Amino acid sequence: MWFIKLRHFLDNNGEIAVSHGPARKLAEFVCSIVVAVTSYTLEISVATGIRCRRRPKRKPCKGEVYAFLDDEQGIIEWHCFICGDRGHITDWENTQWDMRFSDIIPVRFNLEERDLILSETLAGPDLTDRLESEDEVLNSITAYYTPEELEVLLGYICARANHTSDKDLEDALDALYESLEDLLDSTKLRTSH
């Protein structure tokens, strides 16, 4: 089990202090868990979309990191169900990776939805570069958008759905549009309170 104080990896400016090597990779891994878990307001363990970093028997673990924020104690607990790797992260509050007061929305796409956006819409690289991650876990990917970016992406999806004669494509785009619109609406409702 890992016990990590995030600020031990940071310099006086709040940036990751180590520039390369295994320590840098571990710091980036820990920071990505903090971003993923603090982007949600759920009080349950969430799938982060982050690939487990362990290499049992020198082969990459195929698991995904699940994480939970214990808000009372300020501890982020994470674990991999496949290899059993786990840890606690403390001293992460008010770092640049703390998304609790941010308007960033984590969006989980399955690979079919991701491919639909990449191949069928005219959305530019400013919206799609984050979908081309090589860290595809369990046939899904998590991308992070502001509400404004998500509204623009919805516009591209809607435009394509309205200008196709392929009924299956239209149905797939409509379903994706509705799920993203629901996510955006729930985020706006949460931040308005």
pLDDT, residue 41, reads: 65
pLDDT, residue 175, reads: 96
**CA–CA distance, 27 with 41 (Å, rounded to integer):** 23
Per the DSSP assignment, residues forming a β-bridge with 67 are 46, 78
Query: What does the pLDDT look like over 66-121, one tens digit per residue?
Result: 999 998 899 999 999 999 999 999 999 999 889 887 778 888 898 999 999 999 99
User: What residues in the chain have per-residue pLDDT under 70?
Assistant: 41-42, 133-138, 188-193
pLDDT, residue 189, reads: 57
3-state helix, strand, coil in the chain (%, to 5): 45, 20, 35
pTM of the shown model: 0.65
CB 123 within 8 A of CB 38: no
pLDDT, residue 151, reads: 94
pLDDT, residue 16, reads: 92
**CA–CA distance, 22 with 2 (Å, rounded to integer):** 15
